[in-house]
Copies of this chain bind each other. A is one copy, B any other.
Amino acid sequence: MDRGAGSGLEARALELRRGRRLLARSLSFGVQPGSYLELTGPNGSGKSTLLRILAGLGRLETGQVFWNGATFNPQREEAHHARTLYLGHTDGLKGLLSIGENLRLFAALRGIREPIDEIEKGMGFYGLEHLKPIVCDRLSQGQRRRAALVRLHAFPAALWLLDEPTTALDREGVERFFSHFRIHLERGGMALVATHQSLARWIAPAGEIALGRSP
Contacts and interface: CB of A to CB of B under 8 A. Distances in A.
Contacts of A19: 138
Q: Which 6 A-B pairs have the closest CB atoms?
A: A43-B142, A44-B140, A42-B170, A44-B143, A43-B170, A170-B196
Copy number in the complex reads 2
A168 interface: yes
Interface of A: 18-19, 41-44, 48, 89, 131, 138-143, 145-146, 164, 167-174, 196
Contacts of A131: 44
A139 B196 contact: no
Interface-central residue, A143, A171, A173, by most chain B CB under 10 Å: A171
A19 B138 CA distance: 10
Given A142-B196, A167-B167, 17 more contacts: A18-B138, A41-B170, A42-B170, A42-B172, A43-B140, A43-B143, A43-B146, A43-B168, A43-B173, A44-B140, A44-B142, A44-B143, A89-B141, A164-B168, A167-B168, A169-B196, A170-B196
